[in-house]
Chains A and B, each alone.
Chain A
Amino acid sequence: MTYNESVTVHDSMGLHARPAGQIVKLVRESGLEVQIAKQDGQVASGLSALRMMAMKVRSGDTIEVRVETDDTSAAKSLVAQIQEFLKG
Chain B
Amino acid sequence: MLEGHGVGLNFAVGTVWRVFRHETLPEWVKSHTTGTDAADEATALRAAISSVASDLDRLAAGADQTSAEIFEALKILLEDEELFGQAQENLLEGWSAAGAFGMAVNTFCELLSGESTLEERVADLQDLSRRVQAKLAGISLTLDLPATGEIILVAEDFSPADTAQFTSAVVGVITIGGGPTSHTSIICRAKGIAAVVAATAASDLQNGQQVLVDPVGDRVVVGGNANQATRAIEFKAGNSEPVITVRANVGNLTDAAAAARTSAQGVGLFRTELLYLNEKLQPSVQRQTTAYAEIFAASPAGPVVVRTIDVASDKPVAFLPLTHETTLAPESLGYRVLQEHREFIQSQLESIETARRQTGREVWVMAPMISSAAEAKDFCDLARSIGDFKVGIMVETPSIASEINRLEGIVDFVSIGTNDLSQYLFSVDRLNPAHGKLLSPWQPKLISTIAQIAKDALAGAIAVGVCGEAASDPLFAIVLAGLGVTSVSASPSQVDSVRDALASVDIETAKMLAARALAANSPESAKAQVLAALED
Q: How far is the CA of A53 from the CA of B121 in the complex (A)?
A: 10
Further pairs besides A8-B318, A14-B117, A87-B278: 12, Cβ < 8 Å: A12-B315, A17-B121, A47-B81, A48-B83, A49-B77, A50-B111, A50-B112, A50-B125, A53-B112, A54-B111, A56-B115, A88-B278
**CB-CB under 8 A for A49 and B112, given A10-B278, A88-B277:** no
In the complex, number of A-B residue pairs with CB atoms less than 8 Å apart: 67
**CB-CB under 8 A for A48 and B313, given A13-B117, A18-B73, A54-B112:** no
CB-defined contacts of B302 to chain A, threshold 8 Å: none
* B318 A17 Cβ-Cβ under 8 A: no
Cβ 8 A contact of A50, one of B77, B277, B280, B313:
B77
**CB-CB under 8 A for A60 and B117, given A12-B313, A18-B73:** no
Which of A32-52 touch B at CB < 8 Å?
45, 47-51
Within 8 Å of chain A (Cβ to Cβ): is B72?
yes
Smallest CB gap from B121: residue in A = A17
Within 8 Å of chain B (Cβ to Cβ): is A16?
yes
Q: How far is the CA of A45 from the CA of B313 in the complex (A)?
A: 27
Interface residues on B, range: 20 to 34
Q: How far is the CA of A39 from the CA of B468 in the complex (A)?
A: 38
Cβ 8 A contact of A48, one of B82, B115, B125:
B82
Which of B426-471 touch A at CB < 8 Å?
none
CB-defined contacts of B80 to chain A, threshold 8 Å: 24, 48-51
CB-defined contacts of A76 to chain B, threshold 8 Å: none
Within 8 Å of chain A (Cβ to Cβ): is B20?
no
Cβ 8 A contact of B322, one of A51, A54, A56, A60:
A60
Q: Quick one: CB contact mask for B106-134 with A, threshold 8 Å, 1 for yes?
A: 00100110010110010001000000000
Q: How far is the CA of A8 from the CA of B81 in the complex (A)?
A: 26
CB-defined contacts of B22 to chain A, threshold 8 Å: none
Cβ 8 A contact of A21, one of B76, B82, B108, B318:
B76
Smallest CB gap from B105: residue in A = A50
